[in-house]
Structure 1
């Protein structure tokens, strides 16, 4: 690796960005609903979890995958030492994330209880918390710090931005500016307005990925096109989930074809939104390889050229994750 190479933070340390290969940007490895690890009916068997995740990562690699981004952030089961072992065993690069949210999934520690009602942490405190996980390493609770986080992630309350959500968005943006890392957030009710909150902190738009844009309400509001036009990344992160509040894969393929024709190829990111192992909540048990095995052929059927597909799968996530 030359001294001028652009790198990405993985759980095993920085790697050249051009070694990532195909990247799935919004996945979960071990996903534990906060507090579920203490429930009487929840079993956390590390050996079993390792074998389950290793099999899913090997399947991803066998179908052409190179990198998985665990975008769950802090306090949702993130296990850095487990991820290190999985990466070594499978050859799949793993990028873990810092960050947290939405407000309803934060512990009371992240509110200021001396006020009535409690007030949220200010953005500066979230910024410092997230930045240190990038510059000093991710926290293994009460034990140590390990490898650096490679992404800052948060989520907005589905009913709309709360004061704490705004602090999280602004704190994530400030940490990204301080460290050269990108921000990814799952939008709540108004993706464009929430994006503007992040951009108000002077973070370049191409350093921001907006998730959940394959929800029907987001598409009806024109959010994918508006986010792309603003210069940010459009994340369709539930590939393979069909019906209910989400588009079908055929509708996703149509949307991508429209974005490509509109000149937004370099803004599109894809993911399954799978949970390899889930504890305390239902798992989205699709294979990480679903994009490669089922959705890429569908894109071809909908007229998306092979070069554009490669750009979406490799170059776009590489550009997002590369440290600047």
Structure 2
């Protein structure tokens, strides 16, 4: 085990360069993508991934984030969507921005056949305990660099359900993520399928406390229409307004996001709000989201303040809340 995978104390957070004091995180963007590669795209004849160009592009975007006041980016792409630990280590050293990388997989449609156990008849998903062991080892032993080694410890377990609704495989993923969170003390990030509250309950049923879970995508139009942001906050989990800068399609506008944040604050849930853009710094095989990592700080926060959100609440949302979420807990 390398120094970067040494056991963290309860007051630290796992980053790609090793455990750091939670107080050092500064302003945190809790759900972004650095290098995002649709599984299989790296083998496509018409796609070229120039690592030097990718580094320069990501360095520039992370530097903009740092210069705007940012301190930490959580890369929530999980295991098989382009996660490149050596690249992330180099970027963190070059920019001074902490990078928290994630383990986890999902949704079902983006899993490789190995994880669907197609050799069974009929095909059955991996059981939750196998996913739990896979994710737990990426925290306790280091994240896998395929066929080569393990490197730094994952700082969060991230998983996603199928948009149309949670499948049996998705449920195994969610339960496995929850068990890994319980075993390691790192938080769990979920992207819901058709029902945010029901999908949250799946991980809570595994015994994970609500304050160790962040529910992403709560600025989707269907979630907003259902009042899921308030329901999740009332259960004690974190509400991620995490597509700031994206408008149209399945998501509300930034003006509507400001109303969501204001409503949560007015209902006493300021300590449950998290913000990010779900931006992809470099995307291959899919379009990605090209919002700047700095957008929350340069554009959205000033608009929040213009609507009366206090400086104390802004600092709580940007600094205190993600610090509490990402700090490794005793288990």
Match of 1:6 in 2: 11
For residues 93-125 of structure 1, give each alpha carbon's deviation from its aligned partner in whole angstroms, at most 9, with x where no partner exists.
000000000000000000222322210000000
Q: State the alpha-carbon separation in 1 of the partners of residues 102 and 10 from structure 2.
A: 22
CA distance in 1, matches of 2:124, 2:10: 43
The corresponding residue for 2:136 is 131
Write the distance in 1 (CA, Å) between the matches of 2:211 and 2:103. Answer: 19
Does the residue aligned with 2:304 lie in a helix, a strand or coil? Answer: helix
User: For residues 279 and 50 of structure 1, what CA distance do their matches in structure 2 show?
Assistant: 14
> 1:279 — aligned with what?
284
- Provide TM-score, normalisation by structure 1: 0.98
| 1:43 maps onto 2:54 in alignment | no
Work out the CA distance in 2 between the residues paired with 1:11 and 1:156.
Answer: 26
Match of 1:43, SS? coil
Taking the aligned partners of 1:121 and 1:184, their CA distance within structure 2 comes to 20
Distance in structure 1 (CA, Å) of the matches to 2:215 and 2:169: 18
DSSP-derived class of the 1:120 partner: coil
In the alignment, which residue of structure 1 is the partner of 2:316? Answer: 311
Q: Alignment partner of 1:67: what SS? A: strand
Deviations 1:177-200 (A, max 9, x none): 000010001111000000000000
Distance across 2 between alignment mates of 1:89 and 1:180: 29
Q: Which runs of 5+ in 1 are unaligned?
A: none
* Aligned residue pair count: 322
**Pairing of 1:75-94 with structure 2 (within 5 A):** 75-94=80-99
Q: Deviations over 1:224-280 (max 9, x none)?
A: 000000000100110011122211111101110110010101110000110000000
Alpha-carbon distance in structure 1 between the residues aligned to 2:142 and 2:50: 25
> Secondary structure at 1:281's aligned position in 2?
coil
- Contact 1:101–1:154 (Cα < 8 Å) also in 2: yes
Unaligned segments of structure 2, at least 5 residues? 1-7
Secondary structure class of the residue paired with 1:197: helix
- Alpha-carbon distance in 1 for matches of 2:120, 2:24: 49
TM-score (norm 2): 0.96
Aligned twin of 1:229: 234
Aligned match of 2:61: 56
1:208 matches 2:199: no
1:54-203 aligned within 5 A: 54-203=59-208
Distance 1:149 1:40 in 2: 31
Q: Given that residues 10 and 327 in structure 2 are in contact (C-alpha distance below 8 angstroms), is that contact kept between their aligned partners in structure 1?
A: no
> Following TM superposition, by how much is the alpha carbon of 1:5 offset from its aligned partner in structure 2, in angstroms?
6.3
Which residue is equivalent to 1:22? 27
1:244 aligns to 2:249 (yes or no)? yes
**Residue pair 1:5, 1:16 contacting (<8 A) in 2 also:** no
Q: Does the 8 A contact of 2:10 with 2:328 survive in 1? A: no
Distance 1:114 1:86 in 2: 40
Go from structure 1 to structure 2 and tell me whether the alpha carbon gap of 1:140 and 1:4 turns closer, same or farther (over 3 Å shift): closer
Q: Using the alignment, how far apart are the partners of 1:4 and 1:158 within structure 2? A: 36
For 2:4, the equivalent position in structure 1 comes to: none
Tell me how far 1:152 sits from its aligned partner. Answer: 0.1
Deviating 4+ runs (over 6 angstroms): none
Shift of residue 4, structure 1, vs aligned partner: 6.7
